[in-house]
Amino acid sequence: MTAHVLDELSSEEISQLAKVVRDNFSNSIRTDGKGVTNSSLNEEEGEEKMMLFNYITLAEPTRKELSAICGDGDAVYERRGEVMIIVPWTGEAYKYVIAVKSLEVVKVERVKKGQQPLITPDDCLKAERICKNDQKVKAMMKERYGIEDLTMLVCDPWSVHVTEPGMEPLDWRKDDGEIPARLVQTFLYWRDDDLDDNQYAHPIDLLPVVDLNAGKVVDITCQDVAREIPMKSVNYHREKLKSNSYLANVWRDAMKPLEIVQPEGAAFEVDGRLVKWDKWTLRVGFNYREGLVLHDVKYDNRPILHRASLVEMAVPYADPNPPYTRKCAFDVGDYGLGYCTDSLELGCDCLGNIHYFDATLANSKGEPYVIKKAV
């Protein structure tokens, strides 16, 4: 089946685009002036010496291009992919635009200095590894809390929007010729007994800041006197709910079953990513940044919306207690709602005749992975 110009990239297409970028990068970008390229580096030299994929996604046609494609049919348009890569050992980022069918590189541009691509799931995992392996973090956990085994330590990665007094040398906006830092602050929490414990009930007042490009902790903020870690159970996991000390007097039995029956089946039709319901039609899209995108929404064949998505989400946590005053996140731009999507296979309240859409994304190695039942 031929892909529609707005269809997300398939696993095969993601792999092909990743290979094009690897080959192009290896042939054109030198890292130290001595001819060392990404192709001559291997994992034994460390993660910091690997070119990383930030995202691989469909480069959507412009509204003008889409109108021409869907108009008289004379327009010839080849789907394009957009690929963002990060080079940790130089601090640079590059955006590639590639024709999906011909695999021709249409454009390469370097991200302006002072700008950073978003933080990926692999970035978050890397930040936690760096933090938990840092000798100073280990020493401070032992000194302040008597904790030596960090197995149950949770390092919750957050973007750094504004640096504070005393942190000016860490500011990636400095133009001093050094490799710009890619900063992630990691709020620390503790799990009491196992991985299902609600760590947010057990905050720790240390705040390490990780530089992903340098692969190390570059700053640790803490109070002069360590606060005791609160250890009350505040669990909402189905297997631990009865241990919740706050809900001890409000526990209730499960609700009675609810069933939805549609004996004549669903009222909607799905053709690929095209959905038809009553007089409505729309095309379902998905990307790493916004997650769900609705394209070409029409009612009775009358255009209603060209494109609709959630472009940003900001939550003012407003916790006055340090270090949580530094919590600030733009969930779409900093982390990507698509990257944060859970599979509805994990359990949901969807009832009746349901149609699910999978989503295909790429990890930091350029490898595709599928989120089953993402929409």
Q: Whole-angstrom Cα distance, residue 335 to residue 184?
A: 11
Q: Whole-angstrom Cα distance, residue 57 to residue 97?
A: 10
Same-domain pairing of 170 and 78:
no
Q: Whole-angstrom Cα distance, residue 302 to residue 295?
A: 13
User: Does residue 169 lie within any of the structural domains?
Assistant: yes
CATH number at residue 179: 3.10.450.40
Average pLDDT over residues 117-124: 96
Same-domain pairing of 305 and 227:
no
User: Does residue 133 lie within any of the structural domains?
Assistant: yes
Residues pairing with 204 in the sheet? 188
Average pLDDT over the chain, rounded to whole?
Answer: 87
**Residue/partner pairs of 265-269 with CB below 8 Å, 24 or more apart:** 265/353, 266/352, 266/353, 266/355, 268/355
**Contact indicator for 204, 222 with CB cutoff of 8 Å:** no
pLDDT digits 0-9 by tens, 316-345: 888 888 888 888 889 999 999 999 999 998
Q: 26 or 275: which carries more pLDDT confidence? A: 275
Q: Which two tokens stand for residue 148?
A: 């030596």
Same-domain pairing of 97 and 183:
no
Same-domain pairing of 232 and 307:
no
Domain range enclosing 156? 121-243
Is the pLDDT reported for residue 45 higher than 60? no
Domain termination site, one of 110, 139, 155: 110
Residues pairing with 159 in the sheet? 184
Same-domain pairing of 200 and 156:
yes
The pTM of the full predicted model, rounded to 2 decimals, is: 0.88
DSSP state letters, 179-237: PPP-EEEEEEEE-SSSTTS-GGGSEES-EEEEETTTTEEEEEE--SSPPPPP------S
User: Does residue 255 lie within any of the structural domains?
Assistant: no
pLDDT digits 0-9 by tens, 224-238: 889 999 999 899 887
Instruction: Note the pLDDT of residue 164.
Output: 57
SS3 39: helix
Nearest Cα to Cα of residue 210 among 184, 190, 230, 228: 184
Q: 278 or 44: which carries more pLDDT confidence? A: 278
Q: Which two tokens stand for residue 66?
A: 């889409």
Write the CB contacts of 253 (distance below 8 Å, at least 6 apart in sequence). none
**Contact indicator for 216, 209 with CB cutoff of 8 Å:** no
Distances (CA, A) of 244 to 1, 151, 240, 249: 52, 23, 7, 10
Q: Cβ atoms within 10 A of the Cβ of 51, count?
A: 24
Instruction: Note the pLDDT of residue 67.
Output: 81
pLDDT digits 0-9 by tens, 81-98: 999 999 998 889 999 999
Residues pairing with 243 in the sheet? none
Please tell me what DSSP assigns to residue 257: P
Q: Which two tokens stand for residue 301?
A: 């064949």
